Amino acid sequence: MRSTGPVSRIGRSLVAVTTTAAAGAVTVLSFGVSPAAAAPADVTAPRPGDSCTAADLGTRHPYIKTTEVSPTITHFKGWYVTEGTTGQQTVSTDTTTVIAVSVGLNDSIETSFAVEALSNVKATVGLDVKLEYTSTSKESNSVTWNLTQPGYYGFYKGTKKVTGTYGSLNCNRAQQDDGRWALEWTEGPGGGGFTTFTTLEEGAVRCQDGVPADSIMARAQALLDCGSAAVKADHPAGAATQTAQQKPDRPAPKPAPTSGTSTEQPRTTGHSARAALDCSAEAYKIAVPGKPLSWGAPLLADDGVRLRPSTIFSAHLDHWRLCNVTERDGVIEASLWNWGNGGCATIAEQNAATERAVLMTVPCAEDDLQRFYIYRDVPGSSKIGVQNKYTGSMMGYDRYADGEFIRQYSSGRQDGTGTFDLTGV
């Protein structure tokens, strides 16, 4: 393997309201929030430019960039009530809009990164939003309401739809104005859009009711088409009307999920042939700081990368070279080629969306699953964090032990076990 310019440049440095309705309006009924949805958000979530430590190199956090809150009607039906037919009415509504919780391309909300992102949304907008996967289509469409006056009513269910964008923060070294280096939370690769919603409200509203502007109730009233309500006087009591704009607004089908915290970057092609890698002349160990175990590649194809001790029998399985290296904004991107088995580190495609998926080695190819970002401590320190480019997850391990797998974690290991030493051998 021959050395390249970019590698030689970095080689040694790597080592070194419920608003109250106006008079005459029908009061909105709001149901309680589940304990999971009411869980407090992390008020100490980092922001770009905040300081971090070497223990944070193997972690990442979402941060909310934009939010939008939109009152939305999810179920609706117009219903005319005449004198003598007031009282409790139960109406089966039609679905008008389906809102599903999602973070990025993934709607399973099973990873810590996705849950943290929604928790940050909750703190940002100050609303009790859904923190787990659900959909408004799972709600019953039946609305029961006690009507005290005749009139033309809109029976509805609605919610506040919360959408926006998020970014991903990683800990990396940054040069200060005075020339010194420090670790900071900086925006790294990854990010995307999110959708969630508040607890559904239900109720009934008439054309003549005064309602707060831009409220869920006002959205329901707008569906009544009140300008033509007078022509409905000859409708029989309790007749459903067809004036409501019952147009489903279902989201377009989503692509198959790739990761709980997808970096949302297109995959590269070229699986069929081994890539012609341009690798560093120097080999490295990726070791647990201050301890003898380091990343050891497997000899068997169906095994994974494990923590292993360095011995005369290691057969260079603990030696890694950085290949096809690029650097942007102080973050290195590289393929990790193993000297012992000749394979490249990767997350298996079928496990890309799986939290704690095991790091493997396979024949090298031009594939983002085989590309990794390396976040570095300040110059003079060899500590790093490693992130898969395609999944966005950080590399770490469950416990320190001989034979323990190296795995991916969407938010990294918050106990510091995602920080490694990259040292030349």
Q: Do residues 192 and 312 both lie within one domain?
A: no
Question: Does 332 map to a domain?
Answer: yes
Q: Do residues 97 and 201 both lie within one domain?
A: yes
350: CATH: 2.80.10.50
Mean of pLDDT values over 308-319: 91
Over 70: is that where the pLDDT of 40 sits? no
Question: Does 404 map to a domain?
Answer: yes
Domain endpoint, select from 198, 219, 234: 234
Task: State residue 411's pLDDT score.
Answer: 95
Query: What would the pLDDT profile of 82-132 be if each residue is shown by its tens digit?
Result: 888 889 989 999 999 999 999 987 667 888 999 999 999 999 999 999 999
Q: Do residues 107 and 203 both lie within one domain?
A: yes
Task: State residue 107's pLDDT score.
Answer: 66
Name the more confident of 121 and 7. 121
Q: Do residues 190 and 320 both lie within one domain?
A: no
Q: Which residue has the tokens 């942007």?
A: 328
Q: Do residues 318 and 194 both lie within one domain?
A: no
Q: Do residues 412 and 304 both lie within one domain?
A: yes
Mean pLDDT check: name the lowest of 40-54, 292-306, 308-322.
40-54
Q: Do residues 116 and 227 both lie within one domain?
A: yes
Q: Do residues 61 and 197 both lie within one domain?
A: yes
Question: Does 7 map to a domain?
Answer: no
Q: What is the mean pLDDT of the chain?
A: 82
Query: What would the pLDDT profile of 353-369 be if each residue is shown by its tens digit?
Result: 899 999 999 999 989 99
Task: State residue 13's pLDDT score.
Answer: 38
Domain endpoint, select from 234, 253, 270: 234
Over 80: is that where the pLDDT of 73 sits? yes
Over 80: is that where the pLDDT of 346 sits? yes
Q: Do residues 181 and 305 both lie within one domain?
A: no
Q: Do residues 317 and 208 both lie within one domain?
A: no
Domain endpoint, select from 234, 251, 269: 234
Q: Do residues 230 and 288 both lie within one domain?
A: no
Question: Does 418 map to a domain?
Answer: yes
Mean of pLDDT values over 15-37: 32
Question: Does 123 map to a domain?
Answer: yes
Q: Do residues 203 and 348 both lie within one domain?
A: no
Task: State residue 109's pLDDT score.
Answer: 86
Residue 347 CA neighbour count, 13 Å, CB half: 31
Over 50: is that where the pLDDT of 288 sits? yes
Q: Write out the residue range of the structural domain in which residue 179 sits.
A: 23-32+40-234
Mean pLDDT check: name the lowest of 25-39, 95-109, 197-211.
25-39
Question: Does 189 map to a domain?
Answer: yes
pLDDT level of residue 228 (50, 70, 90 thresholds): low
Question: Does 401 map to a domain?
Answer: yes
Over 80: is that where the pLDDT of 168 sits? yes
**pTM score, two decimals?**
0.76
SS (HEC) of the chain: CCCCHHHHHHHHHHHCCCCCCCCCCCCCEECCCCCCCCCCCCCCCCCCCCECCHHHCCEEEEEEEEEEEEEEEEEEEEEEECCCCCEEEEEECEECCCCECEECCECCCCCHHHHHHHHHHHHHHCCCECCCCCEHHHCCCEEEEEECCCEEEEEEEEEEEEEEEEEEEEEEEEECCCCCEEEEEEEEEEEEEEEEEECCEEEEEECCCCCCCCCHHHHHHHCCCHHHHHHHHHCCCCCECCCCCCCCCCCCCCCCCCCCCCCCCCCCCCCCCCCCCCECCCCEEEECCCCCEEEECCCCCCCCCEEEECCCCCCCCCCEEEEEEEEECCEEEEEEEECCCCCEEEECHHHCCCCCCEEEEECCCCCHHHEEEEEECCCCCCEEEEEECCCCCEEECCCCCCCCECEEECCECCCCCCEEEEEEC
When divided into structural domains, the chain yields a total of: 2
Question: Does 320 map to a domain?
Answer: yes
